Structure 1
Amino acid sequence: MANTSSRTLRLLSLLQNHRYWPGPELADRLGVSVRTLRRDVDRLRELGYPVEAQRGVDGGYQLAAGAALPPLVIDDEEAIALTVGLQHAAQSTVAGLAESSVRALAKIVQVMPARLRRRAEALGTMTVPVEWGGRTHEAVDSDVLTTVALACRDTERLRFDYTSGDGQHTGRHVEPYRLVRGRRWYLVAYDLTRHDWRNFRLDRVGAPRRTGARFRPRELPAADAAEFVVDRIGRMPRPYTVEVLVDAPAETVRARIGRWSTVEEIDDDRCHVHMTSDSLDWPAMAFGSIGAEFRVVRPPELVDLFREWAGRFSRCDAEIDARD
């Protein structure tokens, strides 16, 4: 089904970018038979796209001249998923993927209903990506995401409920600036109560309310929103300082995890790795992904975690043997 859907989108893209396609040529571009092409064209028609066909030896296909394409039939959450996913792909270093993602996002936004298009465009223009290691599992509500993005775009003051890391609940009144997407989603904003710039985790934001009050944007004390968030998080005390000796060349280790750690060469075959983290799960996964022997210098809690994982993996193997 996934291949059929992808091919249908590719067919629509070709028809949009070319006045007329002879049937055999269009089928060849899609890598399918002429019979399969006819089925794909019928599928587009069922979705409401006006595809005209010319029969005969020189027969082919084209979109009806001057016909308006139907709106993209997706709900709010699907629109946000498409926008976020394609934005992420647009940052890819895979050859051609970034450019294709930008083109795809532009086409999709163009055919969205006006209400969804407004939300998607706000999210796209008001989000700054930043690269951090690891993954996060904190969910962000799509309505929170788009409400905040629209307030950023419209320079409109925002009120919301906020839960701090220690569980304290407060009401906030801010001038929103930008969203930052990394391991988590953050809002960079000027806090009108505390009279200072702050970054807020969006998974801790509740019931955001646009006030209707516009403001003149203040000067951010950083080159951009991503730099501001990275700097503020970097100042926060980290509960774990990780130090590990790895039996692999420093160059190899840097290629794997150098973005999130400091790697110092010991000799041609060994290196010293330093890392800080608010959780030991990510360092454990990082060192396990290197594919080399290593020794934990500190903290001892990381050794305990590896032992716990080793026991869990061993029990998994034992259960498989028992079933065999």
Structure 2
Amino acid sequence: MQKTSARLLALLALLQARRDWPGALLAERLDVSPRTVRRDIDRLRELGYPIAALKGPDGGYRLGAGTELPPLLFDDDQVVALAVALRTAATTGAGIEEDAVRALATVRQVMPARLRHRIDALQITAVTRPGGDLAPQADPELLLTLSTAIRARETLRFDYRAPDHAPTTPPPRRAEPHHLVTWGSRWYLVAWDLDREDWRTFRVDRLTPRTPTGPRFTPRALPGGDVTAYVATRFRGAHHPDGTPAWPCRGEVVLHLPATEITGYVHDGLVEELSPDRCRLTLGSWSWPSLAALIGRFDVDFEIVGPTELVEAFGRLGKRYADAAARSTSSNAPGTSGTTPLDAP
């Protein structure tokens, strides 16, 4: 029979390996009596491990979560995986670099020599993109807040700073958070913008949540089918084997503008010269409203070639812009304050 200390470590390792353990099975694995298992469970509880007793014909035990983190046991593969994760933490921009270094030093100190040599051989250097600014770190607490809202499927309310750090004007943005992703050492929130009725990707370092969160929502289907396809298309555009962009929404228009004046501004599209002052533009985006807005940025007259979805998107955006202009005009008219008179019918 194992000594008590060795048996306690073996028992703890078993409790960590699966959620529930019947008492008889633990006794069989440790080659002891059920009474010894009960005594060893009590010893582990005295050391701070929250072990719950399960009711039922056979009884059993479960290692649960407590108010403090007790010592844990890891096998060789888990130790290596943990050390690699801690060493690569500096590349995530999550603002946990110093804590990760201290945690790795703690883990390394108790490693057996055979594992320490493997970890010391792993050297990782974070390289920033050429010509790019250093990615700002994301607040770990903010990442946890966003992750909690995503898991709970709760609508987020937040303030969002523009690239020039100017805060947005109230009311705050409202969005259904779907995924928290990293790209180019930056953290982004992929969400459905409720006010703009379209998918948006928000820089986490520019986002300040408001409390409380909004109502729960039913998740929508992401363009492209999953978050990987959406993010790849959003940031750099996935491509078909023939080299054409594989955007989920692709449309075609004729711009009343020479092709030479727009080719430098089109990276994932096709520009075809039709005449000295007209060109055909084929462009893609992750949604039809986004595609319509991209085409509108050229600020010239144009004809829509297709498809129908693009025509409908222009119609919706046109009405929305016209309504916004009408509201602005009426509220700024001389002698009006933007409110309805009390004696109005």
Give the TM-score normalised by structure 1: 0.36
Larger RCO (CA under 8 A, 6+ residues apart): 1
Q: Which has the larger radius of gyration?
A: 2
Give the TM-score normalised by structure 2: 0.34
More strand by share: 1
More helix by share: 1
